[in-house]
A = this chain, B = another copy of it.
Amino acid sequence: MKKLAYGLKSLIILLLIPITIFSQKEVKDLSLMPMPENIQLNDGKFLLDKDFTIVINKNEKKLFDAAYRSIKLITDRSGLFLNNQFPFVQPDAKGKGVVINISEDVELKLGVDETYELVVNEKQIKIDAPNSFGAMHALSTLAQLLDSDEAGYYFPGVTIKDKPRFVWRGLMIDISRHFEPIEVMKRNIDAMAAVKMNVLHWHLTDDHGFRIESKSFPKLHELGSDGFFYTHEQIKDVVNYAYERGIRVVPEFDLPGHATAWVVGYPELASAPGPYVIERMWGIFNPTIDPTNEEVYKFLETFFIEMTELFPDKYWHLGGDENNGKQWNANPKIQEFMKANNLKDNHALQNYFNVRLDKILSKLNKTMVGWYTDEMPDISKDYIVQAWKGRTTLYETAKKGYRSLISHGFYIDLVQSTEYHYNNDPIPPDSILTDEVKERILGGEATMWAEFVGPETIDSRIWPRTAAIAERLWSSGSINNLNNMFNRLDQVSLQLENYGVTHIKNQDMMLRRIANSYDIETLKNFVNAVKPLYTYSRDRPHIAKSYYPMTRIVDIALPDPRSARLFNTSVDELLSNEKINSDCYEKVKSHLETWKENHKNLLPLIKARPILAEVEQLSEDLSKVSLIGLEALELIKENKKADALWITASAEILKTAAVPKGEAELAILSSINKLLAKVN
C-alpha cells in the first residue's frame, strides 16, 4: 500500500508539473521590486506591436517625458520598430497601448500622494493616479512587467493597486570624500526612480571637500574642493532632473563639525585660528564652526539664502554629527561664552547653535533635518531626526515627538549583505510603539558614504542592494521571503543597467585594467568568490587616504556577490535534503572544480601584475578550500564521514583562509565549513 501511495503521489506530481509550467505566472514570479501593495493576475496578456503607444489625458511635461522614456525602454528591450516614439496628449485619453489618466498636477513635496492603479488586460493598459508622481511609479512597474515568449513581447494581465508604506525613501550620496560627476548623480537618480525611491539626500560638504559653487563666498569651493565641485547650473540641472522623476533633493551642509572644507577658505569661521588644509585622511577631525561668533550666523544666513535658489525642497539637512568638541574645549573665549550663557557642556552649545540655525532656516521657510546626536536640540518639533547610531534612537526621538528617519541598518558603504538590509524593518511586526509614534517614523535612507568609492565603483556599492532597501521602505513588512526577493532582485538588477548604472559592467572593465588583458576569465572566477572586507574592519586611518587607488580587488569585488550567493544557496539546498539532489550536487561540484583549478591558472597573471600580489594567498586559499569542499562533497554523496585527521587538517586550512587578504575575503567560506561539518 505504501509503495502504491508513493507511486500515486509521483503520478500526481508528474501530472501537475506540466500544468504548473504552462499555466499563467504566479504573482511571486513577477519580477517586481518593490512589490506592490495589492496585485491580482488577470486572464490574458497585452501583446506589444508596432502600434503601441502611450496616451496621457493632461499636457504635463514631466509625465510626457517619463512616458517617452518608458517607450524607449520598451523598444530598447524588445527591438520593436514602433510607429510613434512620442506619447500623445488627449484630454479624453484612449489608444492602442497605455492610457494614463491623472487627476491634477501637484507640487512634489513630502507626503505627496504616490498611489496608482495599473490594469493590464488583453486590449489595453490603464493607469490611474491622482498626479504625475503616482503615474510615473506605475510606468516603473510597467517596465518591470515586460516579458517575452516565442509569440512576442507582452505585459502579463494584472490589476495592481499600489501605495508606499513610508513617505520618505531616500538614498544619501556623499560626494565630499570622493567627488561624483553630474552623470553619476543622474544615472543613480534614474535607478532610484526605477525602484520608486523619492529622496536624494546630497551630502555636499565635509572635511574632504566643499563641493558646491558659492557666489557669495567663492573661497568655499575655490579653496575647499581641489577644483571638484558643482556649478549652480549643474546643481539646478540635477535637482530638476530628480524632480522630474519624482525625487526630492535634500541638500546637506554638515555643521558645526565635519567642517574642514568650510574653513580652508574662511578660517575665521572656525573655533581655532587655522590655517586649514583640505583633509586627506579618514576619521573625525577637529575643525569646528565657532557658534559664539556672530559673524558665523551672518555668513551662514547669506550662504543659505544663496542656496535656497538651488534647492526648492522644504527640507534642509544640517548634519550635526560627530563634533568632537576639541576646538571648543580649547578655546577660552568659547568657554567664557558657555559660562556666560549657562551652557553646561558642548551638547548645550551645539543645541544653542542649532536653535540659531533653525531660526535662520525658518525665515527661509525651510525645515531642519539632522543626524541623531546624543541630546536632541531644543528646537521646533518640525525638526526631522535621522537615526544612524542604532534603532533605539529612532524610537526615542519619535516618542519625543520628532519625526524620524532610519539609516541604521541601511549603511550600504559597509558592504554588508542584502539580507541584513532587507530584514531591517523600521517598524517590525512586533513593535509596541503606539500608532501615533509610528506615524512619526517617516521612512529611511540608504547611506552611501564615500571613503572607498569613486565614479567607477559607487554604482556597484549602491546597486542592487539598495533596490532591496527600496522594497523594505515601500512594501508591506509582510513581503519578506528571501528567496523570492533574490529572484526578483536578480531580474531588477539586470534592468537597472538599462538606466545607465554601471554596477555590473564596470567589474569586467576594472579586471581588464589590472590584468592589462582581454582574457580575464580566471581572474573573474576568483573575484566572483570574493567580497570586500566589512568597511569598519578596513585599515581606515592608516592605509586609506582620499587619493589612494580604488582599482584593487577589494574595489572590484562586489558586496554580496551574486555568484557566491548562488553557490551558497546550492550548498544549503544540498545539505537540507536527506537525499542528494543531483542538480544541486552538480552545481556545487562544478563551482568547486573550477575554483580548485583556478589558482594555478591565475598565478602567472598574479606574478606579472604586482597589483594582484596582495591577493595571491587568497587565490591559493580559494583553491585549497575548494579541494576540501570537493572531498567533503564526495563523502556526502557516499553518505560517509571523514577521518578525524583530515577534519583537523582541513579545519586548520579553513581557519587560515578566513583571514582577510588585501582587504578582501572569501565569500563562500561558510559553505565550505558547512560541507565540512556535514562529514564530521
Contacts and interface: CB of A to CB of B under 8 A. Distances in A.
A225 B120 CA distance: 33
Interface in A491-533: 491, 494, 497-498, 502, 504-506, 508-509, 512-514, 516-518
A153 interface: yes
Contacts of A153: 610
**Copies of this chain, count:** 2
Interface residues of A, number: 53
Given A79-B549, A610-B153, A611-B78, A504 B497 contact: no
A547 interface: yes
Given A148-B609, A506-B505, A75 B548 contact: yes
Interface string A147-182: 011111100000000000000000000000000011
Contact of A512 (B151, B182, B497): B497
A590 to B, nearest CB: 14
A491 B512 CA distance: 11
A518 B494 contact: yes
A505 B513 contact: no
B79 A611 contact: yes
Interface string A175-191: 00000011100000000
A479 interface: no
B76 A549 contact: yes
Interface in A473-501: 490-491, 494, 497-498
Contact of A505 (B79, B509, B609): B509
Nearest to A552: B79
A497 B516 contact: no
Contact of A508 (B82, B508, B513, B552): B508
A28 to B, nearest CB: 18
Contact of A76 (B75, B148, B181, B551): B551
Interface of A: 65, 72, 75-82, 85, 148-153, 181-183, 227, 231, 233, 490-491, 494, 497-498, 502, 504-506, 508-509, 512-514, 516-518, 543, 545, 547-549, 551-552, 562, 607-611
Given A181-B183, A494-B518, 15 more contacts: A75-B547, A75-B549, A77-B514, A77-B516, A77-B611, A78-B610, A82-B547, A148-B516, A148-B608, A149-B608, A153-B610, A182-B183, A494-B512, A505-B509, A518-B562
7 contacts: A75-B547, A77-B516, A78-B549, A81-B548, A149-B608, A150-B608, A150-B610
